[in-house]
Amino acid sequence: MLNFGKNSFPICFALICMGLVVSPMPNESTTYAPITTDVPSNVPWSEDQTNSNNEVNVGLEYPLLPMVINSWKHTEGNEHAWYILNRTPGGLGETRNAVVEGCGKCEEIQSLVSVGYGGAANEDGETILHAMIMDGATMDVGAVGGLRRIKNAIRVARHVLENTQHTMLVGDLATEFGQSMGFKVESLTTNGSTNMWQNWVDKKCQPNFWRNVYPDPKTTCGPYKPKPTTISSVKKNDDQTDYNIGPDNHDTIGIVAIDVNHQIHVGTSTNGLDFSIPARVADSSIPGAGAYADNEVGAATATGNGDIMMRFLPSLLAVEAMRVGKTPAEAAEMGIQRILKYHKDFYGAIIAVNRLGEYGVCCHGWEDFSIVVSSPVKSGPITRTETVKCLPRSGPIDFTGSSANF
């Protein structure tokens, strides 16, 4: 059972692994306290539903829904998605529009420089985009990876979803597809991204994402050639890198919208990692990695070191954990711990939301992680920024004790 004090209902809540983050007012706060949780009943809310500790059961369809929740402090995108969602009562029929337009707003304003044009130049000094949208009712997905010269990546992804039988289109031919759908082809480079790239070149291309090549990628720029290797070569722990992902250098917006009938859409958009190898596709474009949704259960979105996270499909893991009865907080933690078994120093976060609008967050590698949430409230701001403390970087976590059966 998820509980709040009677006088505090209804305020927004977020679970960090097995803890609770409460954000009443002002708009942003960072608090946490342990809490024991289980999956609540789906019953109408009444102020009379209190226990001996004067706490209220908030596992409710209303007023937790409709809702919009996203990773990082992409506040403008969340607010715009919330506006779109509320064009109809309860958000009915608007979750897809909300996700697309919320991500699209971030692309337009180059939110936090990590979304849209003019950010994250690759090794060639070019910005490319990656985006995805998923429908939790049909399980249909539209995605683009390595999209060049079109600013509206999430809208191109929507055309993949609605106008093709494919799941993902990539590279120059994805650009051609977007152009055929009516999108303008233009440069995604700005003076800012060019200057950032030139500074990187001047520092001998440090850091970068090469290994087992010559000349030494730790001391010079490419082009590089592969070193001779043998089958018995020692595997490098590739989460150890000088390239740190965090609040000032991260990779995506992941956004979930749910209406009062539990229709769910989830979407992502990013310009990827600074100075990545030009052919890289971000995890944000990959269903189950960057995001996943299923109306029967809920949704999840992930952010962080995408090259590691995409190997584990953490968003899918979180949704499937909720399917077998885990709370959103437990589900998010299970996704993080699965990765920690192999990569104890990785950076990342998972947001898990069940179909009722309850959500949990778990993160690792940073001190804290922020999300933005919009949902009905009795008092205070509808759109809130919440910040959770991340798991300590104390070495590998034993995953063998988990009760997961998948």
Place of tokens 């399980």: 139
- Rounded-to-integer distance, Cα 58 and Cα 190, Å: 47
Cβ atoms of 17 and 8 within 8 Å: the answer is no
Q: Could you give the residue numbers annotated as active site?
A: 252
Both tokens of 49, joined, read 């539903």
Which two three-digit tokens encode residue 255?
């956004």
